[in-house]
Structure 1
Amino acid sequence: MAGHKEIDAVTGTETTGHVWDGDLKELNKPLPRWWLYVLYACIVWAIGYWIAFPAWPFLDGYTRGVIGYSQRNEVAKDLAAAKESQATYLAAIAERTPAEIEKDSSLMEFALRGGGAQFANNCAPCHGRGAQGFKGYPNLNDDDWLWGGTLEEIEQTIRNGIRSGHSDSHESAMPRFGIDQVLTTAQISDAATFVLSLSGTPGDAAAVERGKAIFDEQCAACHGPEGKGMREMGAPNLTDGIWLFGGTKADIEETIRTGRGGVMPAWDGKLDPVTIKMLAIYVHALGGGK
């Protein structure tokens, strides 16, 4: 009945008058006042936020808010401040050679951090995040450098690339002995057996002897008579057991047959000179640079 108050006998609390399943009654227990005050304060805060800050989207934009706040502008300010704080270091790196930078501990630390970040962004997809390399992509932690491992040589390689089409790119071309039918399949097999013997892998003595004759005639001009390579030709050392495209007999046969010929892009024009210099310092510091 309207206006009639019913008190629950067990709890002593007034009921709302709602009943379920015949005898299950709902107690009238309103929210605590403090909770309601917090709710009202949040509503007031939300209305104030809508007025003060960008909030409501439209088809052609959004409300700007009375204070004109823009998170994009804040980020731009932070970036500008970061660039300003780095300007002194970047200018010093631009003026000095990599060898001079290595002698300055603060500059060296800055260059290593900057070079590491750039390596992760630009080089890690091919060389790996740890610069460990993959098949066809050299390991930059060891001391096996086709085109030189000094700071200056590494910087030149990064800047100009390898077989990249850049005017100052490192260029070398191993003949495609199989594709161009310079050697037969049997001769390629013998040559691979001999090449493996140079790094201590035993093979059939007769095949090694035949392979040596082929090597002396076709390969020694670039790799040297002892197979230790020639840096000016971009010809790798075949005696150290480090193989860019794999060191199994099948891998070496494929290298002889096709010539391989990987390409490294030239970063000149894609990255600024200071960034290239920091990359060279970082790569050199990995442990394999000379």
Structure 2
Amino acid sequence: MAEHNPFPGENNTGHVWDDNLRELDNPPPRWWMLGLWASLLFVVGYSLLYPTWPVGQEPTQGVLGWSQMQEYARGVEQVEAKRAKFEDQIRGMTANEILADPGLTQYTLASAKVLFGDNCSACHGSGGQGNPGYPVLADDDWLYGGTTTKIAETIAKGRQGAMTAHQTILTPAEIDTLAEWVVQMSETGGKGGSEEGWSLFKTKGCTACHGQAANGVLVELGNGDIVTVGAANLNDGIWRFKPGGYESAKHTITYGVNQATVPESRNAVMPAFAEAGKLSEQEIKKLVVYVHELGGGK
């Protein structure tokens, strides 16, 4: 830095580097100063009109009395006003009647998507693909039936199936035979299965829950509904508890499902959304339509 200013009269600060690099002391452009003062005036005006400065737990209110919550409430009112005619129609209809109307079906599906995301996706996945330990809803395999009546019953009242732990009822060899038989049945669509496995299935009480045909159905009703206790269909390749296969079948047979006194037991509980007050009748109806269409309900 130079000791003396070699550029007198230039309005610089006297700081010079490398003989000719210096720091000037000129005022900012007028337009920049006008912008600065305008922005300061804007802040003052905004602070007077809108909530701005924190005072305790609340901000200053502003002379306009505007708030984001009021804006949100007005937005909700506008949305509800547009939905009102559809909601009124749905309120007086059954799920089957909604499904018979393409326009109302599309509205219900769009409306129920949020309900499904808030209440169902944590267990069943955002697309109904299921998470580990929870049923897939995006297929046509139903533990309790896929009619709108059964789906509504499941959502409203919940489900809690049960399977006895057979660790003290069957011998290890019998458990192995049944586990292998279950795999054989799943791989052949119910057309296979050893004679020894069929014999154990029928003599050890398995038909009481899984049905005579091992398809999980006890009685088929004329309206399409089925009588079932939620036992799995052993004739398909769909496994209630992943990853499936011999070891999975052996674990379920040995330790059962929802057996409170057996630590290794499988857990399978569906909440009762109506009885818990979590969903209204209208919301359940929407979810019935959504789940029915998601999984190709019957």
For each residue in 1:54-103, what CA deviation from the matched residue of structure 2 results, as whole angstroms up to 9, or x when unmatched?
A: 22211253322222222221211211222232222222111101111122
Which residue of structure 1 aligns with residue 187 of structure 2? 200
1:217-250 per-position Cα deviation (integer Å, ceiling 9, x unaligned): 1212322333222142322221111110132111
1:121-132 aligned within 5 A? 121-132=118-129
Q: CA deviation at 1:136?
A: 2.2
Distance 1:196 1:60, change over 3 A: closer
Comparing 182-191 with 84-93, greater Cα deviation is found at 84-93
**Identity across matched positions, percent:** 40
User: Aligned residue for 1:240?
Assistant: 236
Say how many residue pairs are matched.
268
Alignment of 1:93-108 (within 5 A): 93-108=90-105
Could you tell me how far apart the structure 1 residues matched to 2:253 and 2:134 are?
18
Tell me, in whole angstroms, the C-alpha distance in 2 between the residues paired with 1:134 and 1:17.
Answer: 71
Q: Shift in Å at residue 109 of structure 1?
A: 1.5
Q: CA deviation at 1:22?
A: 8.1
Q: Deviations over 1:230-277 (max 9, x none)?
A: 142322221111110132111001111122241100110210111111
Q: 1:177 aligns with which of 166, 179, 191?
A: 166
Matches within 5 A, 1:98-247: 98-163=95-160, 172-178=161-167, 181-200=168-187, 208-218=194-204, 219-230=206-217, 231-246=227-242, 247=244
Say if 2:269 is the partner of 1:280.
no
Contiguous gaps of at least 5 residues in structure 1: 1-5, 164-171
The residue identity in structure 2 corresponding to 1:216 is K
Is 1:91 the counterpart of 2:80? The answer is: no
- 1:129-176 deviations in Å (ceiling 9; x for gaps): 11111332111111111111012221211111102xxxxxxxx43211
Q: Give the structure 2 partner of residue 27 of structure 1.
A: 24
Runs of 4 or more consecutive aligned structure 1 residues displaced over 4 Å after TM superposition: 6-9, 20-24
Cα distance in 2, alignment partners of residues 48 and 86 from structure 1: 38
- Look up the equivalent residue of 1:215 and give its one-letter code: F
Aligned to 2:222: none
Secondary structure in 2 matching 1:87 = helix
Query: In angstroms, what is the RMSD of aligned CA positions?
Result: 2.3
* TM-score (norm. length: structure 1): 0.84
Separation (CA, whole Å) in 2 of partners of 1:217 and 1:65: 80
Structure 1 residue 48: Cα displacement: 1.2
The one-letter amino acid of 1:19's match is H
CA contact (8 A) 1:7 1:14 kept: no
Separation (CA, whole Å) in 1 of partners of 2:208 and 2:44:
82
